Amino acid sequence: MLAKDIKFDCRYFDGSKPCQFKTLCKGCNCYQPEGKRILIIKLASVGDVLRTTVLLPALKEKYPQSYVTWLVKEPAQELLETNPHIGRVLVYCLESVLLLQVEKFDLVISLDKAVEAVSLASLIAAKEKYGFGLNKQGKIYPFNREAEYSFTIGLDDELKFFKNKKTYQEMIFEVVKLGYDNDEYELKLAREEFDFADRFFKENNLTSDDVIIGINTGAGKIFANKNLGSTQIVELIELLDKKIKAKILLLGGPAEKELNERVVKEAGCEIVNSGGRHSLKQFSALVNKCAIVITADTLCLHIAIALRRPVVALFGPTCHQEIDLYDRGCKILAEIDCAPCYKLSCEKHPNCMDRIKPEDIVKAAKDLIQEMQNECAKMQNRIREKETRIILKVNKA
């Protein structure tokens, strides 16, 4: 086969091995041109990567004939790999960096302010660039006018902490010149993840009739005091056990293994510990089976939002304004003058998260569960009314 017969712009063409259809280009009926080539650079953190997925359906609507490449760091790629709106996920490494400097794109969307992200975004050949790059002085700067607000918010604490009312979603839609309409996160779970969660629930005697409250105990290591202390968590669980007829599922990753084991030992009630030994998607599948999730501003919050689970979100050192719960939950804010602060360390006692009262969290959880039960009752009534109308029609006939 001659080079002139090869469809280099086909989204299925690999170049080093047969494509998924195992046919040569000449005469192939499966040819699909990539169309507009779009590169998204959002490397980390995992929660930020997940909430950036809100852009994908809107980009596809604006550019129906397009091929999206997403450059990301591990382990966040796991949450992108099955997304139908992404043609290719590249994990950040030397090979990917070299590859991207050879390729050409119609549009680069650079939403990460890390030096490795903005420098690469500046080097890549593209007709248009939105977001952030690196100038000749080695400083981050906005590629386009629409990115200036998001750029400035990183420089001005007064704007970020107090004046800003825009969510992260609103800001990135503004950067890429799209209209935001409460667009939702995208997180696709496979049958195997759902099966994992079903097995876990069965092994731990949790049924579909149980009201499961997931409590996420971790919050990363970047910012100080993002989550409750172990004493608060134990107090919260014991209050939930008294006030709400529900079962408690402790959520967390490997970093929370010792903390969760200590909480289980100290709490005077029954708790199911998820163990923290699962993949991100398995963790997500467990979150998906919770009636509500109680979590700080961390990855678990974004997973719960993506899976449309009601949440009680706890905020101390970070900005609650940037988080959109899509009317499926409530926020509890630390009442302290120095929050938010985004400090890496804090010596205050009590700190911002110490100020959050477990009884306030319990009340919020109770209200959410009541709302869910009310909605469920309304739905059942509508179903019964519909069935009655059908029976009446049949009888008349």
Number of domain units in the chain: 3
pLDDT band at 10 (very low <50, low <70, confident <90, very high): confident
Using one digit for the tens of pLDDT, what is the confidence trace for 73-112? 999 999 999 999 999 999 999 999 999 999 999 999 999 9
Q: Is the pLDDT of residue 392 over 70?
A: no
| Same domain, yes or no: 15 and 113 | no
pLDDT band at 214 (very low <50, low <70, confident <90, very high): very high
Last residue of a domain, one of 124, 141, 175: 175
| Same domain, yes or no: 324 and 374 | yes
Q: Is 106 helix (H, G, I), strand (E, B) or coil?
A: strand
pTM: 0.90
Q: Which amino acid is at 276?
A: G
DSSP H or E stretch at residue 64 = none
pLDDT, position 397: 58
Using one digit for the tens of pLDDT, what is the confidence trace for 244-270? 989 999 999 998 999 999 999 999 899
| Same domain, yes or no: 211 and 336 | yes
Query: Which is more confident, 266 or 384?
Result: 266
Using one digit for the tens of pLDDT, what is the confidence trace for 122-136? 999 999 999 999 999
pLDDT, position 393: 63
Please report, for the domain that includes residue 234, its CATH number.
3.40.50.2000
Averaged pLDDT for residues 190-194? 96
Using one digit for the tens of pLDDT, what is the confidence trace for 148-184? 999 999 999 999 999 999 999 999 999 999 999 999 9
339-320-147 Cα angle (round to 5): 105
| Same domain, yes or no: 250 and 342 | yes
| Same domain, yes or no: 201 and 304 | yes
Range of the domain at 138: 34-175
Q: Is the pLDDT of residue 243 over 70?
A: yes
Would you say residue 190 lies in a domain? no
Would you say residue 17 lies in a domain? yes
| Same domain, yes or no: 217 and 147 | no
Do 196 and 279 touch, CB atoms closer than 8 A? no
Q: Is 286 helix (H, G, I), strand (E, B) or coil?
A: helix
Nearest to 339 by CA among 170, 223, 166, 229: 223
Q: What's the mean pLDDT when you consider all of the chain? A: 91
| Same domain, yes or no: 56 and 76 | yes
Would you say residue 191 lies in a domain? no
Q: Is 118 helix (H, G, I), strand (E, B) or coil?
A: helix
At residue 191, what are phi and psi to the nearest 5 degrees?
A: -55, -35
Q: Is 250 helix (H, G, I), strand (E, B) or coil?
A: strand
| Same domain, yes or no: 156 and 221 | no
